[in-house]
C-alpha cells in the first residue's frame, strides 16, 4: 500500500507491521520507520564515507526521582562495562578493531550512545552499539565506574556549573531543574539495583530511537527488526516542566563572575518559535566573526556591554537551551567580579529595550543561518539532532527547512519572542558574585 502526495515527494509504505516514511530532498534520502514494538528507526544517507550511529532513549536527568539524583551520570559512565551477553573489554576491543569511535552522551532529555565508524564496518558497529547501550550494571563493574564520576566533576568548567544553576533557577523543583552531574556526596550511592530498575523502566523500545547517518536504511532497519534486543514496552509520558523564573547564586573561589540572564523560549516542538528564537539570539549577542577578535561581536546586548565595560575584559555569548517541552533564551556574561554589576544591568536594559529595524533584522537572520549551517557540518551533530527531534515530537526538521523558517521570521515574531523573554527573567551566577545584582534589582 502506498500513498503519494506531490507536494513533498512523501511516501508512506506499510509492510509486515513496519510503517516507513521516506523523504527525498536534493539527493539526500531521509527515512523513518516505526516497528511494532514502538522503536523508531531513522536514517539520513548523504553518501559520506563515515557512518554515524546513535541509539537514544528518553532517559535524561529529568526522569530521575529525587532519591535518584545523579543516576543518569552513573548510567552514562557505565557504557563500556559488561552487558548481559558480552564482556565489556571484548566489545571495546572489537570497536577498536574496526576503527570505531564510541561516545556516550546525556542531557536533561535523553541518554544516548553514539558510534562513528567507516561505512564498510557499519554492520559490525550496529551489533556492538546495541549491546553497549544495555549494560548489566554488575556491582564489581560499577566500583570502577565511580572513579570516573569524580574525574568528570574535577573537569567541570565554570559555564558547566553555571548551566546547572541556571536550570535550577528557571525550573525550580521541576524535572528540568534536575542536575546533570552527580554531586560528590552522591557518587557511589547509586547502586546496581537502582540502575537496573531505571533501565528496565526507561531503556525500552517505546522510548528509543535508532538513527544512522551515511548508512543504508535497509541495513539499520534490518538490524533493528531482527537483532536489536531492547526490552519491549510502551513509551511513557513525559512530565511537563514549567518555566517559573528565579535566581540561584553560587559563590566560588574565582576572580571572575559568570552570570546568565535568561527568559522563556520555544521548545523543540515549536519549529517556528525555534527559528524566531535563533534570530533573537543572534540579535542579542552573536559572537565575534573572527578568532581572537578584540570586539564582542554583533548584537544589541554585546554592544551595550562593550560600551559599559570601559576597557575591562568581558565576554558575552547567547544562551539558547532548547528542550523537548521548554527552552531558555538569553545571554551569558563573564567578567572580573569587581566590575560585573554595571555590565549585567546594561545587558538586561538592552534586552528589555530591544528594537530591530530592517537592517539589523536582516543581519541577525544571516547570522542565524550561518550558525545553523555550521552546526550541520558535522554528521555526528546531525545524527544526535535527528535523534533528539524524533524523541521530542516524532518528527524532524531538516536544515533546509529550518533555514527557510529563519528567512520567514518577521519583526513582529522577534518582538513577541523578546516580550516572552523579558516577561519573567531568571538569573544564575557563579564565582565572585558579591557585585552581581539580585533579580529584584533588574
Residues 88 and 165 both lie in one domain = yes
pLDDT of residue 112: 97
Q: Is the pLDDT of residue 404 over 50?
A: yes
pLDDT at 234: 86
pLDDT at 23 over 70: no
40 is in which domain, residue-wise? 2-226
- Average pLDDT (392-402) is 89
**In the predicted model, what is the mean pLDDT of residues 129-144?**
95
Least confident range of 229-238, 268-277, 399-408: 229-238
For residues 328 and 194, membership in a common domain is answered with no
Of 63-67, 187-191, 373-377, where does mean pLDDT reach its minimum? 373-377
Single out the residue in 226, 255, 273 at which a domain terminates: 226
Q: What is the mean pLDDT of the chain?
A: 89
**Residue 74 belongs to a domain:** yes
Confidence category of residue 290, pLDDT binned at 50, 70, 90:
low
Is 220 inside any structural domain?
A: yes
At 29 the pLDDT is 77
Q: Is 28's pLDDT higher than 90?
A: no
- Average pLDDT of the residues in 295-299: 71
Position 238 in a domain: no
In this structure, the answer to whether residues 252 and 400 fall within a common structural domain is: yes
On the question of pLDDT at 17 being above 60, the answer is no
Q: Does residue 163 sit in the same domain as residue 208?
A: yes
The DSSP bridge pattern shows strands 50-57 and 40-45 to be: unpaired
Reference 344, options 220, 434, 407, 419; nearest CA is 434
345 belongs to a structural domain: yes
Check: CB of residue 282 under 8 Å from CB of residue 416.
Answer: no
Lowest mean per-residue pLDDT among 47-51, 271-275, 295-299, 344-348 = 295-299
Question: Which of residues 195, 226, 257 is at a domain's end?
Answer: 226
Residue among 93, 226, 76 nearest 148 (CA): 76
Distance, CA of 74 to CA of 198 (rounded, Å): 11
Of the residues 226, 260, 280, the one at which a domain ends: 226
Regarding whether 194 and 109 lie in a shared domain, the answer is yes
162 and 253 inside one domain: no
- Residue 319 placed within a domain: yes
Q: Environment class of residue 355 by beta-carbon count within 10 Å: exposed (0-12), middle (13-18) or buried (19+)? A: exposed
User: CA triplet 325, 328, 333: central angle to 5 degrees?
Assistant: 165
Give the pLDDT band of residue 14 (cuts 50, 70, 90). very low
Does residue 403 share a domain with residue 256?
yes
**Same domain, yes or no: 218 and 254:** no
Indicate whether 273 and 346 sit together in one domain. Answer: yes
Is 378 domain-assigned? yes
Q: What is the mean pLDDT of residues 150-174?
A: 96
Q: Are 204 and 232 in contact (CB under 8 A)?
A: yes
Structurally, the chain folds into a number of domains equal to 2
| Residue with the three cell numbers 527557510 | 404
Q: Based on the fold, state whether residues 251 and 190 are members of the same structural domain.
A: no
Per-residue pLDDT band at 58 (split at 50, 70, 90): very high
302-334 tens-digit pLDDT? 999 989 988 888 999 999 999 999 999 999 999
Condensed to tens digits (0 to 9), the pLDDT of residues 215-249 reads 999 999 999 999 998 988 888 788 889 999 999 99
Considering the domain architecture, whether residues 202 and 342 belong to the same structural domain is answered as no
Q: What confidence score (pLDDT) does residue 7 get? A: 26
β pairing state of 208-213 and 40-45: parallel
6-10, 18-22, 384-388: range with lowest mean pLDDT = 6-10
How high is the pLDDT of residue 377? 87
Residue 241 lies in a domain: no
Residues 6+ apart with CB under 8 A from 23: 8, 9, 10, 29, 30, 31
Q: Which residue has the higher pLDDT, 24 or 15?
A: 24
pLDDT above 90 covers what percent of the chain? 79
pLDDT digits (tens, 9 = 90+) for 66-96: 999 999 999 999 999 999 999 999 999 999 9
Q: Within this chain, do residues 59 and 186 fall inside the same structural domain, yes or no? A: yes
Asked if the structure places residue 46 within a domain, the reply is yes
CATH of the domain at 133: 3.30.830.10
Per-residue pLDDT reduced to its tens digit, 4-13: 222 222 223 3
DSSP 72-101: HHHHHHTTTS-BSSS-HHHHHHHHHHTT-E
Amino acid at each position: 500500500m502506498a500513498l503519494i502526495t506531490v507536494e513533498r515527494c512523501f511516501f508512506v509504505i506499510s509492510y509486515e507491521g513496519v510503517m516507513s516514511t521516506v523523504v527525498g530532498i536534493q539527493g539526500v534520502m531521509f527515512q523513518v520507520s516505526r516497528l511494532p514494538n514502538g522503536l523508531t528507526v531513522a536514517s539520513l544517507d548523504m553518501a559520506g564515507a563515515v557512518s554515524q550511529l546513535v541509539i537514544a532513549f528518553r532517559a535524561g536527568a529529568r526522569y530521575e526521582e529525587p532519591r535518584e539524583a545523579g543516576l543518569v551520570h552513573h548510567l552514562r559512565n557505565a557504557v563500556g562495562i559488561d552487558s548481559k551477553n558480552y564482556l565489556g573489554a571484548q566489545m571495546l576491543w572489537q570497536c577498536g578493531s574496526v576503527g570505531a569511535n564510541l561516545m556516550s552522551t546525556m542531557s536533561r532529555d535523553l541518554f544516548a550512545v553514539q558510534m562513528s565508524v567507516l561505512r564498510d564496518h557499519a554492520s559490525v558497529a550496529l551489533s556492538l552499539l546495541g549491546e553497549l547501550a544495555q549494560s548489566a550494571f554488575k556491582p564489581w563493574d560499577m566500583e570502577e565506574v565511580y572513579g570516573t564520576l569524580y574525574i568528570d566533576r574535577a573537569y567541570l568548567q565554570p559555564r558547566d556549573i553555571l548551566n546547572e544553576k541556571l536550570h535550577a533557577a528557571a525550573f525550580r523543583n521541576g524535572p528540568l531543574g534536575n542536575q546533570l552531574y552527580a554531586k560528590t556526596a552522591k557518587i557511589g550511592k547509586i547502586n546496581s539495583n537502582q540502575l537496573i530498575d531505571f533501565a528496565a523502566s526507561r531503556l525500552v523500545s517505546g522510548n528509543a530511537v535508532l538513527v544512522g547517518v551515511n548508512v543504508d536504511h535497509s541495513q539499520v532497519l534490518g538490524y533493528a527488526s531482527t537483532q536489536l534486543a531492547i526490552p519491549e514496552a510502551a513509551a511513557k509520558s513525559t512530565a511537563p516542566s514549567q518555566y517559573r523564573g528565579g535566581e540561584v547564586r553560587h559563590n566560588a573561589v574565582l576572580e571572575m563572575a559568570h552570570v546568565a540572564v535568561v527568559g522563556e523560549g520555544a521548545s523543540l516542538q515549536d519549529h517556528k518559535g525555534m527559528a524566531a528564537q535563533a534570530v533573537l539570539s543572534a540579535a542579542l549577542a552573536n559572537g565575534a566573526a573572527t578568532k581572537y577578535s578584540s570586539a564582542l561581536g554583533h548584537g544589541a546586548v554585546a554592544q551595550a556591554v562593550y560600551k559599559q565595560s570601559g576597557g575591562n575584559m568581558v565576554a558575552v555569548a547567547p544562551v539558547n537551551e532548547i528542550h523537548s517541552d521548554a527552552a531558555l533564551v538569553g545571554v551569558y556574561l563573564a567578567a572580573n567580579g569587581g566590575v560585573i554589576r554595571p555590565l549585567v544591568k546594561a545587558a538586561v536594559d538592552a534586552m528589555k529595550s530591544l528594537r530591530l529595524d530592517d537592517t539589523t533584522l536582516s543581519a541577525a537572520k544571516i547570522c542565524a543561518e550561518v550558525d545553523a549551517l555550521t552546526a550541520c557540518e558535522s554528521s555526528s551533530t546531525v545524527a544526535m539532532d535527528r535523534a533528539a527531534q524524533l524523541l521530542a515530537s516524532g518528527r524532524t526538521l531538516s536544515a533546509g527547512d529550518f533555514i527557510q523558517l529563519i528567512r520567514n521570521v518577521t519583526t513582529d515574531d522577534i518582538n513577541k519572542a523578546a516580550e516572552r523573554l523579558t516577561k519573567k527573567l531568571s538569573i544564575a551566577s557563579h564565582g565572585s558574585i558579591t557585585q552581581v545584582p539580585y533579580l529584584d534589582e533588574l
